[in-house]
A = this chain, B = another copy of it.
């Protein structure tokens, strides 16, 4: 199933996350979708699992929350590899970015150690420019 062919529950969750101005927890999503028939956590977690597999939603490990992908298809690369998140602890704004040099350094460390990387998490907590001012 592609991004263009989501189930009803998946669409509801993705739409909600896309409109949110900050990460949402699974239970916040549940609460906000009660009017649309959501009754149990599993409905949310199942939708999130699929959306993450599709790469259109990311889990923020340090927040136990989820965001819609805001990865910009920039000129430098086309695929969605490892990304980093900068999370403002004041306003909740999340910036998603990637950096080839970081990727390369992590890959080089893994190569030297014989470590087989499956998934990399990079999250910076702090204050965005607006909130730090």
**A residues within 8 Å of B by Cβ?**
61-62, 84, 86, 88-89, 95, 97, 99, 101-102, 105-106, 109-110, 113-129, 132
Nearest to A60 among chain B residues (CB) is B61
- Are the C-beta atoms of B105 and A101 separated by less than 8 Å? yes
CA distance A124 to B117 in the complex (A): 6
Please give the count of copies of this chain that the complex contains. Answer: 2
| Given A61-B121, A61-B123, A123-B120: A132 and B115 interface contact (C-beta under 8 Å) | yes
- Are the C-beta atoms of B115 and A129 separated by less than 8 Å? yes
| Given A61-B61, A61-B123, A129-B113: A118 and B102 interface contact (C-beta under 8 Å) | no
- Are the C-beta atoms of A109 and B99 separated by less than 8 Å? yes
Provide a sorted-by-A list of 12 A–B residue pairs whose CB atoms are within 8 angstroms.
A84-B106, A99-B106, A110-B126, A113-B128, A115-B126, A116-B127, A117-B126, A118-B125, A118-B127, A120-B124, A121-B121, A121-B124
- Are the C-beta atoms of A123 and B121 separated by less than 8 Å? yes
Cross-interface CB contact of A113 among B95, B118, B121, B125, cutoff 8 Å = B95
Task: Return chain B residues, CB-CB under 8 Å to A109.
Answer: 84, 86, 97, 99
